[in-house]
Structure 1
Amino acid sequence: MSDAVSDCTDARTAVTEAEVEALVRGICFKTGPPRSLGVEVEWLVHELRGPQLPVTPERLEAAYAALRATPLASALTVEPGGQLELSSPPAASLMECVRTVSADLDAVRAVLRERSLALVGVGHDPWHAPRRFLRQPRYDAMETCLDRTGPAGRAMMCASASVQVCLDAGYEEPGPLGHVRRWWLAHQLGAVLVAAFANSPLAGRTPTGWVSTRQLRWAQIGAGRAGAPALDADPRGAWARRVLDAPVMCVRRDGGPWEVPDGLTFREWTRSRTPRPPTSDDLDYHLTTLFPPVRPRGHLELRMIDAQPGDDGWIVPLAVVAALFDDPEAAETAYRAVKPLAERSLGLPAPHNPLWFDAARDGLADPELCEVARICFAAALDALPRLGATTEVTDAVAAYRDRHVVRGRCPADDLLDRLLGADRRPPHGKDLSS
């Protein structure tokens, strides 16, 4: 999806607090008919002969050099720990998005296979400790900043992978496809998506007690960096306040470290204008250092779904999300289904509330989350033909529903079964990592 924050004004001009609020309100929610869809798929890269075997930085760099020379429709980027990400261009339909990314992944896998490497779809590396691959000022500053809240930041940077679905913000006007409703739905349905697609129960080859350890790590880096704003009838105003009150990760310089006073918020930076006045370019950059579960970038970026197993596992969450947001009938069903879940949030923003913690810890073993997931998958399956989905896509969603959702399971349960045996799996929520 296109990056709407590039609409900012002259990057050399210092910005005031009021100008920042106006810029954020203007660029982060581009309303109109929902027409475009995108997906960002992240993968761990491991040895073809055994994913538990580490890959040297030299081999990763050689593989990525070959991939950069490979024609792709999607943007290829490398994450700090060496994870590979493909970001699709905006697609006019679900099937256009699926075809584009599938073709690109075929090309990527062929290049990696020639080098005895493979993609692995799992939300958190179950074998290896976090290890930095990229050495750039941005990631040096990010590591320094996140280290202040503990080791979770390094795990998030270097050991996690996800499926991120990008949707248009929706109509300005109220209704099932209106931007206020879609913003609210993304945060409430987000917990259901965490539970239904949880695929990261291990760290250091040991069960953590959470079916989505990846989501746990995001919560552990703190609300200032990874928290959502309060949900109200004015998403633009709420997000603008969130941006202003979020801590600045770094102040970029041409030379020397990108250091910043601990706890300096962007609001305080606009007022103090030290260590130098912030510019609109600094605001652009600041927006990329915030990692809420739903990030508005003109469109909505849903960031809560673990990477999925199998070559085509990523298609299922993409199809389900597209159906539940872009089909009016399915969107209304999903809205009504998740509405009772809001009480479990206790008025706290995601992911730092009981609903999201329950989803990340227990997955669909939580009876209420499981029932809502069943309703939403049924609505998605009804809607997918109306969105032009092929039989292969609807069959994949149906198979996932039957294998996991109907049975109150998620892919994390399959991983735990293989590790511990179906009869010996510990109850969700018991911390076995200590």
Structure 2
Amino acid sequence: MEARELHPEVAGLFARGRRRSVRVAIEQEYVVAAADGGVVPIEEVRRAVAGAAAAPYVSFEPGGQLELSLQPSREPVHDLRVLTADLERRLGGITVQAIPVDPRPDVPLQLTSPRYLAMQRHFDRIGPAGRRMMRRTASTQICLDWWPGQAGIEQWRVLNLAGPFLAARFNRSDRLATWLEVDPARTAFDDRLLHGDPVASYTAFAAGATVFVDGPAGHLSTLFPPVRPRGTYLEVRFLDALPPEDVERAIAVLQNLMYDDVRRRDVLRRLPAGLWSAAAAGELDQEVAA
């Protein structure tokens, strides 16, 4: 897709907020399993959680992973605990686990819309990591208010630079290694998003990725960078699915990097780019960006 088609849409993704708010929201993915460890059809899970307090926030990933996409809150981890407990009561013998990689080797593709079928065909041309990512991985995604002005540019850069160190600190699996193998042209687990103007860099990134859905907005939704621009907030995507106590610690570290001007600028001065492979291999000092 041509950069000129993508640029207006990308500019909207980098619009940023108009005030210095500090709200946090959590998107938590869970691996779902039957009592005997088998795969549970998505429709069975939908029926089980219908009417639950968490139901409006439930969606699904291609392999049937359940996602809770919560609203911004003053106590996001408390909300996560309460709504997860509500889900567990409704599901009975069906379990939801905050684990980063489903141990079952044969998880079918449950979402078979043209989008996901096209995505799978694309990834299959590269290797097996795409199917594993789509069907068997789960993450904790943390969304943070994005500030206007120079502070907002710094926030974008610091999350991308600190990401490898934070992944090394919090992640507990080889999920990150899977993501690095999926399709570098659409995951950007390198320093390609940190060269020059952020809008121009992201537009070039999007223009370089193979297109398999129609329209600029649709195409941009098939990109999976470690930090995703979302207009007024930034979505941190590089963390494994974490238990609540680790989610709480990760939020504290991310807020410190995002909203403490002195800390943010100190980290920006010290951290190099392009260390995702080292993070996946366990070769980074986990405390550097803590």
What TM-score results when the alignment is normalised by the length of structure 1?
0.61
Partner of 1:370: 286
> For residues 64 and 128 of structure 1, do their structure 2 counterparts lie closer, same or farther at Cα, with a shift above 3 Å needed?
farther
Matches within 5 A, 1:193-342: 193-200=166-173, 213-227=174-188, 229-251=192-214, 282-298=215-231, 299-308=233-242, 310=243, 312-336=245-269, 339-342=270-273
Contact map agreement 1:180 1:233 (CA 8 A) in 2 = no
Once the two structures are superposed, residues 210-231 of structure 1 have per-residue CA deviations (whole angstroms, 9 ceiling, x without a partner) of xxx2111111112212115331
Relative contact order: is structure 1 or structure 2 higher (C-alpha 8 Å, sep ≥ 6)?
A: 2
Task: Report the Cα offset of residue 85 of structure 1.
Answer: 0.4
- 1:184 matches 2:117: no
Picking from 22, 34, 46, the partner of 2:8 is 22
Larger radius of gyration: 1
User: Gaps spanning 5+ residues in structure 1: where?
Assistant: 1-14, 201-212, 252-281, 346-354, 377-434
Given that 1:142 and 1:249 are in contact with CA atoms closer than 8 Å, whether structure 2 keeps it comes out as yes
Task: Choose which of 14, 21, 26 in structure 2 pairs with 1:39.
Answer: 26
What is the CA-CA distance between 1:333 and the residue it aligns to?
Answer: 4.6
Q: Are 2:38 and 1:54 equivalent residues in the alignment?
A: yes
Displacement of 1:40 in angstroms is 0.7
* Deviation of the 1:312 alpha carbon: 4.4
Deviations 1:414-434 (A, max 9, x none): xxxxxxxxxxxxxxxxxxxxx
Change (3 A) 1:330 1:119: farther
Q: State the match for 1:350 in structure 2.
A: none
**Which stretches of structure 1, 4 residues or longer, exceed 6 Å deviation after superposition?**
none
Instruction: Encode CA deviations 1:179-210: one digit per residue, 9 max, x unaligned.
Output: 2211111111100111011222xxxxxxxxxx
Equivalent in 61, 64, 80 of residue 101 of structure 1: 80
Offset at residue 241 of structure 1 (A): 2.0
SS of residue in 2 equivalent to 1:225: helix
Aligned residues: 286
Residue pair 2:159, 2:257 contacting (<8 A) in 1 also:
no
TM-score by length of 2: 0.88
Q: How far apart in 1 are the matches of 2:152 and 2:240? A: 25
1:43-67 per-position Cα deviation (integer Å, ceiling 9, x unaligned): 101245x7xx22343xx53222222
* CA RMSD across the alignment: 2.4
Counterpart of 2:121 (choices 137, 144, 149) is: 144
Cα distance in 2 for partners of 1:30, 1:340 equals 24
Do the aligned residues in 1 keep the contact of 2:165 with 2:287 (CA within 8 Å)? no
Q: CA deviation at 1:158?
A: 0.4
Provide the C-alpha distance between the structure 1 equivalents of 2:14 and 2:105, rounded to a whole number of angstroms. 36
Are residues 20 and 56 of structure 1, via their aligned partners in 2, closer, same or farther at CA, if it must alter by over 3 Å? Answer: closer
CA distance in 1, matches of 2:239, 2:105: 21
Secondary structure in 1 matching 2:285: helix
- 2:2 touches 2:207 (CA, 8 Å); kept in 1? no
Letter of the 2:39 partner, please give it: V
CA distance 1:47–1:318, shift in 2 (3 Å)? farther
The answer to whether the 8 Å contact 2:123/2:182 transfers is: yes
